[in-house]
Amino acid sequence: MWRDSGTPADSFYQVRPEYADDVPKSRFKIKTGKTLSSRKWHSAFDAEGRLDIGKTLSRIYRGGIHPSIRGEVWEFLLGCYDPKSTFDEREQIRQRRRMQYAKWKEDCRQLFPLVGSGKFITAPIITEDGQPIQDPLVLLETNADKGVTVPAQNGINDSSTGSAHNLEKVMDKRVIQWMLTLHQIGLDVVRTDRTLVFYEKQENLSKLWDILAVYAWIDIDVGYCQGMSDLCSPMVILLNDEADAFWCFERLMRRLRGNFRCTNNSVGVEAQLSNLALVTQVIDPKLHQHIEALGGGDYLFAFRMLMVLFRREFSFCDSLYLWEMMWALEYDPDLFLIYEESESVSKKAERSTKGRTKSLRQCGKFERENMKNAAKTADAPLPISVFLVASVLKDESSKLKHEARGLDDVVKILNDMTGKLDAKKACTGAMKLHRKYLKKAHANKS
C-alpha cells in the first residue's frame, strides 16, 4: 500500500518496544513522485515481462524503493534475472533454482539433521579432529513469549532430535570444516538484527541459519565468516520464499565474497582498504598524510564499513536504502549473463541476446562513468563502496585532522556518526569523488 509523501519507512520494519529508544530513526522517507512505487515498477514491464531497467534506475537513485516491492526489485538489481527475460522464462529459472536449493539443503540435512528442522545450534558439535561432542549446549527450545531459543537441560531438550547429535567420528575434512561453522552461524543469527520484531519468530531465525549453513557448504573457498549474517538478514526479511532469499544472498556474495577470503597472512578486505587509501591520497592528500602519521595507513579502521556495507553505521531501514542506491548506480544489465552458470540457461540466454549491445541508458550512473573511462585506465574499476567510505572520511576530514591524535580517536569519530549519516548524501558524495578521482588519476598518468 502506498503511503503519503514524506512518510518514514520505519513502520515496515518494526522494532521491539524494549529497543525503541536505542535504535536510530530512519532518514529514508517514502516520497510520491520520487520513490519507486509498485505502480511505476510494474508499468516498466512490457506485456511479456521484459523490463525497461533504465526507466527504474534513476527513480531508485532519486528516492529509493517502496518497501512493499523491495525484494522483487532487488532480485533484478543483484543480477538474479535478466531484464530482457519474459515472465515465463523467469518462472522457469525460479523453479529450477528452488529445486537446486532444496537439493543442497537435503545434502546438508543428511550430514546434520537439524538443517531444515526449524531449530539450530549455538554450541560446537564436533572437534577439529572430527570427534563428535556428545552433549553440546544446544539452543533448541523456543520460548513462546519472547520468540528466542533457550538452552536445554544437558544440551538437548527433545529426544526426537537426539539423532542429530549421535554423530560418529567424521573423517572428511570438508564436512569437518562445515560442521565447525554451524554453531558460529547460530551465535551470529541470534545477534543479527535482534532489535526487529521479525526475529522474535523462531521460524525466521531458523530460516536465516539454514540459508547460511547451506551457503557455507556450497562455497568451499569461503564457507562462513562473521558479517555474512548481516548481509543475508535483509534477504530473509524481504523475500518470503527461503530459496529466493538464498539466491538473492548468493548473488550479493558474488560481489563481496572476496572481502571474506582470509588466510593466515591476509584479510580478504585488504584489497579494498588499499584502494581506499589510494583514493583518499588522491582526493585529500592532507587527510591521508594525517592518517598515516597516526599509524592508520592500512585503513583498518574502515574494515567494518566495507565488510558489511555500512550495516552498523545506518539504521536497518537506511542501510537498505543505501544498498539499493549503490546497486542502482553500479547496475550492469549483463549481470545475469555474467553470473549465470547453468549451461542450458546460459545457452538460452546467449541465443536470446545475440546482437545485443550494452546500452548506456540501461546502466547505472556509476557504471556509465566507468564505461566512458575504460579506455583511459588499464585498471579494473573500483566498487562504489570504496568511494562511499572515502566520501564519509572527506565529510569528517576537518574533525579527523584537528581532533584525532591517535587511531582510537579516528575510530571514536567514525563511531559517533552511527545513525547520523544520510544515505542519499553519501551516494552523491561518492559519485563526486569518483569523477574527481578518475580525472586526477588520468591526469597523473598523462
Which tens digit of pLDDT belongs to each residue from 16-44? 999 888 888 888 888 888 999 999 999 99
Half-sphere exposure of 84 (CA within 13 A, CB side): 18
Confidence of residue 373 (pLDDT cuts 50, 70, 90): confident
| pTM for this predicted structure | 0.88
Please check whether residue 36 is in contact with residue 73, taking contact to mean a CB–CB distance below 8 angstroms: yes
Among 53, 13, 4, 57, which residue's Cα sits nearest to residue 33?
4
CB atoms within 10 A of CB 228: 28
Give the type of residue at 15: V
- What DSSP designation does 127 have? -
Give the pLDDT of residue 156: 33
- Residue holding cell 514491464? 45
CA-to-CA distance for 28 and 13, rounded, in angstroms?
A: 12
User: Which SS3 state, helix, strand or coil, does residue 54 take?
Assistant: helix
Q: Nearest 5°: CA angle at 11, between 58 and 237?
A: 75
- Stretch 135-161: mean pLDDT: 39
Yes or no: say if 115 and 105 are a contact pair by the CB < 8 Å rule. yes
pLDDT per position as a tens digit, 97-130: 999 999 999 999 999 999 999 999 999 999 999 9
Confidence of residue 83 (pLDDT cuts 50, 70, 90): very high
Q: How confident is the model at residue 212 (pLDDT cuts 50, 70, 90)?
A: very high
- Residue 426, C-beta contacts closer than 8 angstroms, at least 6 positions apart: 322, 388, 391, 392
Alpha carbons 80 and 184: distance in angstroms, whole number = 28
pLDDT of the residue at 145: 37
pLDDT, one tens digit per residue, over 275-308 is 999 999 999 999 999 999 999 999 999 998 999 9
DSSP bridge partners of 238 = none
pLDDT of residue 268: 73
Q: Which helix (H) or strand (E) holds 389?
A: helix 384-395
Residue pair 85/50 in contact (Cβ under 8 Å)? The answer is yes
Check residue 378 and give its pLDDT: 56
pLDDT at 23: 85
Q: Which residue has the higher pLDDT, 350 or 268?
A: 268
CA–CA gap between residue 365 and residue 172 (Å, rounded)? 47
What distance in Å separates the CA atoms of residue 249 and residue 241, rounded to the nearest whole number? 13
Distances in whole angstroms, Cα of residue 294 to Cα of each of 167, 282, 297: 51, 18, 8
Domain parsing of the chain, residue ranges: 103-238, 262-446
* 78 pLDDT more than 50: yes
pLDDT attached to residue 27: 84
Q: What is the DSSP string of 250-293?
A: HHHHHHHGGGG---SS--TTHHHHHHHHHHHHHH-HHHHHHHHH
Average pLDDT of the residues in 355-374: 79
The pLDDT value given to residue 163: 44
Rounded Cα–Cα distance for residues 260 and 226 (Å): 9
Q: Can you tell me the distance from the alpha carbon of 143 to that of 380, in angstroms, rounded to the nearest whole number? A: 51
Percent of the chain past pLDDT 70, that is, above it, reads 83
Query: Taking Cα atoms as reference points, which of 271, 236, 256 lies closest to residue 71?
Result: 236
pLDDT tens by residue, 300-336: 999 989 999 999 889 899 999 999 999 999 999 888 8
- SS3 state at 158: coil
So what's the pLDDT on residue 276? 95
User: What's the pLDDT band for 248 if we cut at 50, 70, 90?
Assistant: very high
Measured CA to CA in angstroms, residue 254 lies from 79, 109, 249 at distances of 10, 25, 9
**What pLDDT was estimated at residue 6?**
60
Give the pLDDT confidence score for residue 152 in this predicted structure. Answer: 40
Residue 411 has pLDDT above 70, yes or no: yes
- What is the three-class DSSP state of 225? coil
Domain spanning 262-446 has what CATH number?
1.10.472
Q: What is the pLDDT of residue 238?
A: 97
Q: Are 116 and 105 in contact (CB under 8 A)?
A: yes
Residue bearing the bigger pLDDT, 254 or 265: 254
Q: How confident is the model at residue 193 (pLDDT cuts 50, 70, 90)?
A: very high
Q: What is the pLDDT of residue 20?
A: 86
pLDDT value, residue 177: 95
Query: What's the confidence (pLDDT) of residue 339?
Result: 80
Rg (CA), the chain: 23
What distance in Å separates the CA atoms of residue 95 and residue 97, rounded to the nearest whole number?
A: 5
User: Average pLDDT of the chain?
Assistant: 85
Residue 376: predicted pLDDT: 60
